[in-house]
Amino acid sequence: MSMQAADTAPAPAAPARTGGAGRERLRLLLRSGTFLAGAAIVAFWVACALFGSDVVPQDPYAVDLMSKLQAPSPDHWFGTDRLGRDIFARVIVGARDILTIAPLATVLGTVLGTTLGLIMGYFRGFIDEAISRLIEAVLALPLVIVALLALVALGTSYITVILVIGLIFTPLIARTVRSAVLTERGLDYVAAARLRGENPFYIMFIEILPNVVPPILVESTVRLGYAIFTVATLSFIGFGIQPPSADWGLAISDSYGLINGGYWWTVLFDALAIASLVVGVNLVADGVQGVFET
């Protein structure tokens, strides 16, 4: 058992070094095994989403009831679903919708959350208190349930799914940004800026924002993983991506009633695809976190 103190090694040398913090972090990131593994997985699925439909041997949307529910074979590597569509082709192109919706929702949540967090952390007081209560109320509900409620009320479409997930992420990201801003606000450079007569927006966006980019970056990569998780789950319960998309969650929702009949291939490959994508994104997030939080 190791009972050793933390890294108390002397601080890096003071004299000027070439290259900024950013380049140093990138170098560390490229040396992190988890990051590289995750990035490779994500890159693979992004490539599939972009170019998959051009390279797959069969049309992923072609219904062929004559050859429905066929087990994997040289003709259909992953078998066929109950409409006779080629599962291999569908798995390859199945990332397209989720890889559009989830990142857009994350970007929306990050932009709104960052703005909100900066305002809360900088002004504090009543604004902060009021928004905090609201955030706490939203957070008292599981993500999937809030999304479900909102989508039932608004109706499901790509836009509503993006909006709903983006808006649910807003308070989560705002909370992270807020606590980072609170720390920064206590630092003397903020006082120095006020003593120069800078206005609050200059201080928030030019002085503080660059210093809270690392936690925002970490939080939004983590959020991207959750966005994929949530979109997949919503699609599975019928409130996310709609047919005839080849989306994986949708495919599992469509076929999981069949598994007791032994048609395991109708769900297994889609399940593995989702798992690999979320794990990939989260390995990237873990790598980013490791580099930025030390």
Partner 1 sequence: MSTLRAIPRRLLLSLITLWILSVIVFIGAQLLPGDVGRAILGPLADPRAVANLNHELGVDRPLLVQYWSWISHFATGDMGMSYTMRAPIAPFIATALGNSLKLAAVAFVLVVPLAIFGGVIAALNVGRPLDRIITVLGLSATVVPEFVSGIVLILIFGVWLRVLPINANWPPDAGPLTQVYYLLLPSLPLFLVLFGYIARMARAGTVEALDADYTRTAVLKGLPPRTVLWRHVLRNALLPTITVIATQVGYLIGGLVVVEVLFHYQGIGSLIYVAARSKDFPTLEAGVLTVGIIYTVATLAADVLTSMLNPRVRLGAAA
Partner 2 sequence: MTPTAPWQGEMASAPDALSIRDLDVAYRVRGKVRQVLRGLSFQVGRGESYGLVGESGCGKSTVALAIVRYLARNGRVRAGRILLDGRDLLALGEADLRKLRATAVSMVYQDPGRALNPSLRVGAQVAEVFRLQGMPQAEALDRAAAMLARVQIADPSSVMGRYPHQLSGGMQQRVAIAMALAINPKLLILDEPTTGLDATVEAEVLDLIARLRGEFATSILFISHNLAVIARMCDRVGVLYAGLLVEEGGTRELFDNPRHPYTVGLLRCLPRRGRRKDHGRLDTIPGLLPPPGADIAGCVFAERCAHADEYCRAVEPPLYDLGGRASRCHYHERAPDLPRATPSDPAAPIAVDREERPVLRTQRLAKTFAAGGHAVHALSAISLELWSGETLGLVGESGSGKTTLARLLLGLIEADGGSVIELDGGQLPAAIDRRTPDQVKALQIVFQNPDSALNRSHTVRHLIGRALAKLARVPAPQQLERLLAFTRAVRLADRYLAVRPRQLSGGLKQRVAIARAFAGEPRIVVCDEPTSALDVSVQAAILNLLADLQATRRVSYVFISHDLGTVRYISDRIAVLYLGRLMELGPAEQVFRGPHHPYTEALLSAVPSLDGSVTERIRLKGDIPSAIRPPSGCVFHTRCPRKLGSICEDQEPPLIEAEAGHAIRCHIQARDLQRERPAPMPAEAPAS
Site residues for partner 1 per CB under 8 A: 1-6, 34, 133-134, 136-145, 148-150, 152-154, 225-226, 229, 232-233, 236-239, 249, 252, 256, 259-260, 262, 264, 267-268, 271-272, 274-275, 278-279, 281-283, 286
Q: Is 30 in the site for partner 2 (CB under 8 A)?
A: no
Burial-class residue 164 by CB neighbours within 10 Å (0-12, 13-18, 19+).
buried
The residues facing 80 across adjacent strands are 86
* Assigned token pair, 7: 């890294």
Q: Is 130 in the site for partner 2 (CB under 8 A)?
A: no
23 binds, among partner 2, partner 1, none (CB under 5 to 8 A by kind): none
Site map for partner 2, 172-191, x if CB under 8 A? ---------------xxx-x
DSSP letters, 167-188, are: HHHHHHHHHHHHHHHHHHHTSH
The CB-of-291 to partner 2 minimum distance in angstroms stands at: 12
The set of residues, in sequence order, having a beta carbon less than 8 Å from that of 261 and lying 6+ positions away, is none
Cα atoms in the 13 Å half-sphere on the side-chain side of 238: 3
Q: Is 21 in the site for partner 2 (CB under 8 A)?
A: yes
Q: Is 43 in the site for partner 2 (CB under 8 A)?
A: no
The helix (H) or strand (E) run that includes residue 7 is: none
120 in Cβ contact with 67 (< 8 Å): no
The CB-of-178 to partner 1 minimum distance in angstroms stands at: 16
Q: Is 6 in the site for partner 2 (CB under 8 A)?
A: yes
Q: Which stretch binds partner 2 (CB under 8 A): 5-13, 37-45, 229-237, 243-251?
A: 5-13
The CB-of-10 to partner 1 minimum distance in angstroms stands at: 17
Burial-class residue 171 by CB neighbours within 10 Å (0-12, 13-18, 19+).
buried
233 binds, among partner 2, partner 1, none (CB under 5 to 8 A by kind): partner 1
Taking the C-alpha atoms of residue 47 and residue 59, their distance in angstroms, rounded to an integer, is 18
Residues that bind partner 2 (CB under 8 A): 2, 4-17, 20-21, 187-189, 191-198, 207, 210-211
